[in-house]
Amino acid sequence: MSVTVVGSIAFDAVQTPAGSRERMLGGAATHFALAASFFDRVHVVGPVGDDFGDAEMDVLRIRGTNVDDVERVAGGSTFFWSGRYHEDLNTRDTLDTQLNVFESFEPKLSTASLASEVLFLANIQPGLQLKVREQCEAARFVALDSMNLWIDIARAELDEVIARVDCLVLNDEELRQLTGKPNLFSAAHAVLEAGPSIVVAKQGGYGSAMVTRDDFFALPAYPLHEVVDPTGAGDTFAGGFVGFLASRPPSERLSAPVLRNAMAYGTALASFNVEQFGTEGVASVTGEQVRERVRDLDRFARFDPIDAPLAG
């Protein structure tokens, strides 16, 4: 089995309370692939410009990721984003966005990418996500990320592609915007009525929650003394979540124990992402270090119920 991810490959510039970087590797497809590559073969589909060098491509190739469908656009520049994080790190201001080669991106998938059993549609224009979904007939599990912009300006296409995926990944504010519901739980169940069988709500520094028709599960973010750079944490989480599911037999993939473990692995990998700038943390971490944090999460979140003598 393998995983195909279609999305942005970028250069980012960030300012956080811990410091700044003027130019570092980023993009949704990049962060997703670095995390998912712990579990399975990953095929990355996305455009880059002439400024994307061998060093950046080598990072993408870590743990055997296939970069044959990374399209180098001659004469173009790679997508660029710049942002500044507030003190609480849960909010940020976008300072600059240069779409560059991403503006005219038309995904081109090789036979290997089309053959993947698992597909992640990272945050791109919903019409493009729909085209990719239609091409990937072999995909038996499809997850989708999106954002508030597409909810505002491309709602019809977004609704159409949501109806054709198994898992929707959004932050909790976007879920409420999408559905008009007042809270995460009611919003998630409204999405489940539209087609997906899993809704995952990213909650930034507070963790994440997962809702299915029969289950609810939530995990806090892994506790850290210092968060350096949250950029890409959500995509790293998605890479761990989807990558873990890809590593399991299809007959087990939607079971509660497997889904809960997927949440834990996504959370653990996201914690390594935020400890360093850009891709530095996840690119250098080992599998055993990830397992250790998953074990920690189990210990942190587990409790044995004690019956209390309650009034009434």
| pLDDT confidence of residue 231 | 96
Domain ranges for the chain:
2-301
Low-confidence ranges of the chain (pLDDT < 50): none
| pLDDT confidence of residue 88 | 87
CA–CA separation, 55 vs 298, rounded Å?
37
- In the structure encoding, which two tokens stand for residue 138, read together? 């072999």
CA–CA separation, 17 vs 206, rounded Å?
18
Give the pTM. Answer: 0.96
Give the dihedral sign, CA 198/207/250/255: negative
**Residue in 3, 9, 119 with CA at minimum distance from that of residue 73:** 9
| pLDDT confidence of residue 1 | 75
- In the structure encoding, which two tokens stand for residue 72, read together? 């180098």
8 Å CB contact between 86 and 92: yes
CA–CA separation, 269 vs 222, rounded Å?
9
Instruction: Write down the architecture of domain 2-301 according to CATH.
Output: 3-Layer(aba) Sandwich (3.40)
In which element (H, E) is residue 42 found?
strand 41-48
| pLDDT confidence of residue 287 | 97
| pLDDT confidence of residue 90 | 84
